[in-house]
Structure formats: C-alpha cells, structure tokens
Amino acid sequence: MKIAIVGGGPGGLYLAALMKQLDPAHEVTVWERNAPDVTFGFGVVFSDETLGGIENADAEFAAAMADRFARWTDIDIHVGGRTHTVGGQGFAAMSRRELLHLLQERCRDLGVDLRFGTPAPDTAALRAGHDLVVAADGVNSAVRQASPDAFRPTLDTRRNKYMWLGTDLVFEAFQFFIKQTEWGTMQVHGYPYSATGSTFIVEMHEDVWRRAGFDTGPDLPPGASDEPAVERIRALFADELDGHRLFANNSRWLNFTTVRNERWHDGGLVLLGDAAHTAHFSIGSGTKLAMEDALALAACLHEHPTLEDALTAYEAERRPVVESTQRAAQASLEWFENIGRYTGQEPVQFCFNLLTRSRRITYDNLRTRDPHFADRVDEAFAKAQGADSVVPAMFQPFRLGPLELKNRVIVSPMDMYSAVDGLPGDFHLVHLGSKAMGGAGLVMTEMVCVSPEGRITPGCTGLWNDGQRDAWQRIVSFAHANSTARMGLQLGHSGRKGSTRLMWEGMDEPLEQGNWDVVGPSELPYGPASATPRELTRTELDRITAEFVAAARRGAEAGFDLLELHCAHGYLLSSFLSPLANHRTDEYGGPLENRLRYPLEVFDAVRAAWPADRPVIVRISATDWAPDGNTEHDAVEIARAFIAHGADGIDVSTGQVTKDERPAYGRSYQTPYADRIRHEVAAVTGTAVIAVGAIASYDDVNSILMAGRADLCAIGRTHLYDPQWTLHAAAEQDYRGPAADWPLPYRAGSRKPPTSRTDAIRPRLTLLRAEDPDRAVHLRWTPPREPAPVS
C-alpha cells in the first residue's frame, strides 16, 4: 500500500512506524512543513492504557519511551494560601521534543520516507498518487479544510485564554495553582516531564485576561513568543516559580478550539488526531489521543480486506472513545471557564469539585485512590451541613423551605400513562407506595393534569374533581402510614403536547380518535406530526389559572407535603417561556420578561392557594437544546424570577421543548445547569436546587452533593429498575440510620451479606487504616532514568 501522511507530529510519525512494522512493503511518506528539530510545547502526558497499547504494538519503542518518563501519583492543589495533596492518581509524562526524536529515529530505522521542511502537495495530487492519505496536520488541518463537505467539521472556540510555557522548576507532582488577582482568578496547570523541566500552562477567562491588560500585546510573526506577556507572567507567578526560570517556545495567548467532524474518512482520505478531534488539555493530551488513533488505524488497516472496511472499522472503534473523552473534556473546560464561581467554596470542597469536574473521577473513585483525602471531604461536608456525624452525603437530612426531608434523594416525576379518566388507581398506589417504602426522602407524582384538556394522553392522572382528590388521598395516606417519605405533587398542563397516544403506542403522536383541541401561547406545533395548537386568549388564560388553583387546593386536601409547578419539557407553562413556542406579540410574548409573565401569574396564584407551611418548587428546562431557544443564561434569569416570587426550590431539567432539539447526552449531563443556578442565584437566597438527568448511582449522587453542584438529586428510571434503590444504596455504603429507615417488615433484609472474600475482609482493612493511618504512603514524582542518546 502506498500511504501519504500529512503532518510529522506524534500521531503521524507513530502511524508511519506502525505501518512499516506491520508490512515493510508499505511505501510510507510523511510530509512535515517544519524542520525535524522544530517542536512547540514542552511535555506530553500519557495514561497507563495508552502506554499498554504502545507496549503491545512495539515493545522496543515503548522501552525507549519508558527510559524518559517522569512518573508521579499525586496532585497538589494550591488554593487559599494552602496546599492540598491528593494521592493515587498515576501519571507519566515526557518531553515532546524527545518523543518526536524517538519517533523520527524509529521511522528512519524502519524505512519511512520523512520529508521535513516540505509542505505536502495538495490533497487532489496526494489522492491521485497514493492508496491512502492520512491528515495528521493538527487542529488547523489544511487537508480537512480542503474537503469541508466530506467531513462536515464544527469548530467550537472557547472563552478562556491560555499560554503554554515551560520552567526549570521540577515539580514533584501535578500542580494546580489557583491564584486570586485584582483582575480575577488565574490558574496554572503544571507537571514534570523530565529531570530538568516542567510544563507550566497559564489559563484565565478572557474577561480576566482583558482586565489584566494582556489584550494589548504586540502582533506576532509565526513562531514568535509573546515576550511581554511572558515577562508579566514571570512576575505574577514569582512565588510559585520560587526563583526558577520560565521558558517560552512559540508561546502566545490562545483560545482552545474543540474540533468535531461528522465523518472521519472520505474514500481513501482519513483524519487522525487533532485534525479529527480535540480534547481540552485539562483532562489529557492531544498526543495521547493521536497515538491511540494511530494504533487503531494501523490495526484496522492490517485486519480488514478492503480500505473502505478498514476506515469504517477505525471510525467505529475510535469515535465512541473519543466522544466520551470529549464529553469529559467539555465538562472540564467549562469548569475552568467558570472557576471564579467556585473560589468562595470551603477549600476542601473546592478541591473535591476540581477533581470531579469532568465526572470521570467520583467520590468512590477518589476514596479508592486516597482514602485519607476522602475522609477530609466527608468531614468538611458534614461540618458545612451542621451535622453531628459523618454519613454518606445522600443521607444527610435537608430542609426544603419549611419541609424536613430525611435524606437528599427524590423519586423524580415519571408519567405512567395508567389512569382512567384522570383517576389514579391501584397501580399508582403500588407504584408510588413502593417508592415511598424504598427509602427516598421525597416521592413525586407524575405530572398531574389540571383539566381533561390539559392531559398529555388519555392515561394521564388529574386533579380536576373531588373523586381524583380522594384517590390521591388514599395513596398519600398509605405512604405516610408506612414510610417516613414525604409526598410531592407535580401540577401541569400539557399545552401543545396534549391529545397524544400512550408512550408505548407512539410517544408524542396524535391520537387516532377521541382527540381534543390542544392549546398554546402561539399556533406553533411541537413537531411535524403534532397537532397545531390554538392560541390562548386572555379569558382562556384566566380559566387555566383557575384550574391550577383548584387542583392545588385539592392537592393540599389530599395531604401532599409539597407542590411542584411544571414549567419544563415543552408543556404549557414551559412553552410560554420558550421563544421557540411563544411568538405572541402581546404582553405575554417577546422578551424573556414578557414570556415569564404568565407562568409567574400561575405560580403566584398557586402559591397563594397552597398552605404557607408547605413548600412550592418549580421544574424548568434550563436549555432548549436548539438554536434560538432558551439557553443556560436564560435559565438563570428564569430561576431568579421564580425565586423572587417565593419558590422554595428549582428543579433543573432540560429540553423536550422542540422536536428539533439536539441534547448532549452523557453522565449527569444536566447537572451543570443546576450547578450554575445554585451558585449564581439560589445560594444567595438559600433556595434549594435539584439536579436530575442520567444520575444512575449513589456514587453520582454523593459526588454531586459533595461538590456543591446541587442540594438534592432526583432519580427516575433507576427507581423503576429498583423501587428500593435508596435502601439498597444505604446497605451498599454500610449506612444504618434514620435517613434510610427500613420498614419494620423488611428489616431482616437490611444488611448486605458479604458476596466475596474481598467484601468480607474490607471491615478489617478499614480498621487497620484507623489504627495506623500512616501506613498509607503517597508516592510522589519519580525522576526518569538517564536518557539514551538522541540523534
């Protein structure tokens, strides 16, 4: 096979060496516009997984790398004048220059045609003369830019400014320096890469960068460093550098760009490394991803009979891994963009927040790595709650307005579509009763509709008559008599999403018969197949408000402990909030202030009708996940408005406002929206914030709570899988207390038996740690061995 590789960075060179190893008959040419001794940056970081793949593919090259590695297991976080050390992490890094020299030498030994200082021919010429063309030419790939229709790239340029520098201060561990300045928060990511140097990345929000005057720097020619800025950084971080030098190498202010492509290959042309994808430097190295790409691409080319099969397999194998990494990287970069939001946290909580920012490290994971630091996190959280003892965060009690909850787990509202004429029956008694007996602090009903026309489907429950009130009272009374859970009522109106089939018969599809008119703020259907709503008149708005009030009064009579007003997911009140559904030209449409008017009118009326000693909370969609829809910035203002009107809590969900939405699904993917609302609005007023969405484990719950991202967690589908999920979570965590109070008939099963020898001996290991905590030794930085000569 005749292979052209554009780009002589680590990914391109490593692929060239692998292909020649697999078959010396391959003709492999690498074009690199820079000279062989030109490299930008300082150190590169590798994971153990990547190193294992390299060792399996080329033991000789892996051994040469290992001779040059700096390894360490600690992270030092410098914040608030103190250093907090967290062990058990495990990193390896080396000089980027040495890595490139090793790869160049390996390629020469294997017979790769290396053409340094030579721009590659244009893509058409390369494709005409080669079986395979590999674009490994980085984030600004000229090859990718020449074929935008083939790859359909998106480039997301972020808000933070950063500069890549080096220092002769050899750090003993990975360093985060969090520095408060008169202009705002600045941070340094630092790590050793050799016995003589460390990487020193300075980062700050663009607003901080401007306030500090860094935006007045000189225009720089290619390859030049911003020396005035470097000199200022030397002065700003003089204490951190401790008299050591700071080096520049094409060091200038940059904005990180996240690169994504809808396709990675087109015929015999394929993208690799940063040309295909990027992930923020705060969670890992682009070099790491590029070399993993090279390993996968070489293996697929070797294993598959045709080029198209090989490239399809390569993309299928790598894309899920890369997308997972990019999701974590997105969470991490957004955390650092908003770092100023968290600097007021207690230092140990701040450190935990930083460590868990990408959602890849969790509380349990951290406890495995460094149990002593995890103990500090436990103690700090308990102290912040005013608790007498340390228990798992999810089992710390919480006061939601005037309501005491025994723990911080909520059974999220979930539509069951199993009512007849709005009447909840035995199904709902068993469904909600089992959840109440399952240990959660608060159990929410499904959306209970305020009128027959306000139902989503014929199977939805209601509270528009006294018979329904009495049926709900039976369920609430059972929960109160047989558990210590509190019961919450979610009230809503379907709006333009009404008159549809049961979920399992076709979600959001109109009924085949028996339809009723649907209504909304404007005559805009939810989706292409949805019915067009009638625009509501002033008289109809008043009538619907009265229906909400009547339903709230019946809910109070039924004994519910809490009411949640449903202003999310594209139902009636949500559709007033969203500019995608609300095109009115009267006082209820236009700017957000007007779009909020009717939902706030309903809230005020419901709050007045609901008992003052019981809380009212609001569920919102914090983003519409669609162009021109509501964003997280709007969500902050929406939350602020409801809190100003007396909401005791904000339940932060997202989306379901339009069929055109494109959610960024992933682990706890909605939590960042709750996090922002909590820190920017709710913390000031003491209003509770509830996180919801893809929270599937008690470890997720504890991690969210201890980082301060939310006060409570609402969990839905997991409770369908296991109605006793909260009780089982208590048993798994060895917690036996009032926040996880097993019903008397069930207590014989409340202790989890050991399932393995490891589980059986764990209590003894815990005891040993308590007896002799000094047995836990934190390994710090290990200098690399004397490097082999590099040509």
14 included as an active-site residue: no
Q: Is 492 in contact with 450 (CB distance < 8 Å)?
A: yes
Closest among 118, 123, 124 to 135, alpha carbons compared: 123
Q: Is 341 in contact with 207 (CB distance < 8 Å)?
A: no
Amino acid at 141: S
3-state secondary structure of 359: coil
Spell out the residues 6+ positions from residue 682 whose beta carbon is closer than 8 angstroms to its own. 639, 643, 650, 688, 689
HSE-up of 517 (CA within 13 Å, CB side)? 6
Provide the β-strand partners of residue 2.
27
- Measured in degrees and rounded to the nearest 5, phi and psi for residue 630 equal -65, 145
Amino acid at 432: L
Q: Is 521 in contact with 581 (CB distance < 8 Å)?
A: yes
Closest among 262, 28, 236, 270 to 136, alpha carbons compared: 270
- Measured in degrees and rounded to the nearest 5, phi and psi for residue 713 equal -125, 130
- Give the Cα separation of 764 and 432 in Å (integer): 39
- The secondary structure of residue 497, as a DSSP letter, is G
- Measured in degrees and rounded to the nearest 5, phi and psi for residue 7 equal 120, 120
Amino acid at 321: V
- Give the Cα separation of 677 and 6 in Å (integer): 46
Q: Is 392 in contact with 698 (CB distance < 8 Å)?
A: yes
What is the biggest distance separating any 2 CA atoms in the chain, rounded to whole angstroms? 88
- Three-state SS string over 717-740 comes to HHHHHCCCHHHHHHHHCCCCCHHH
Active-site hit among 162, 571, 588, 698: 571
Q: Distance between the two ends of the chain, CA-based, in angstroms? A: 29
Q: Is 366 in contact with 356 (CB distance < 8 Å)?
A: yes
Closest among 124, 107, 131 to 2, alpha carbons compared: 131
Closest among 393, 689, 684, 445 to 559, alpha carbons compared: 445
Give the Cβ contact number of residue 738 at 10 Å: 11
- Give the Cα separation of 187 and 583 in Å (integer): 44
- Give the Cα separation of 474 and 427 in Å (integer): 12
Provide the β-strand partners of residue 688.
649
Q: How far is CA 640 from the centre of its chain?
A: 23
Residues labelled as active-site residues: 571
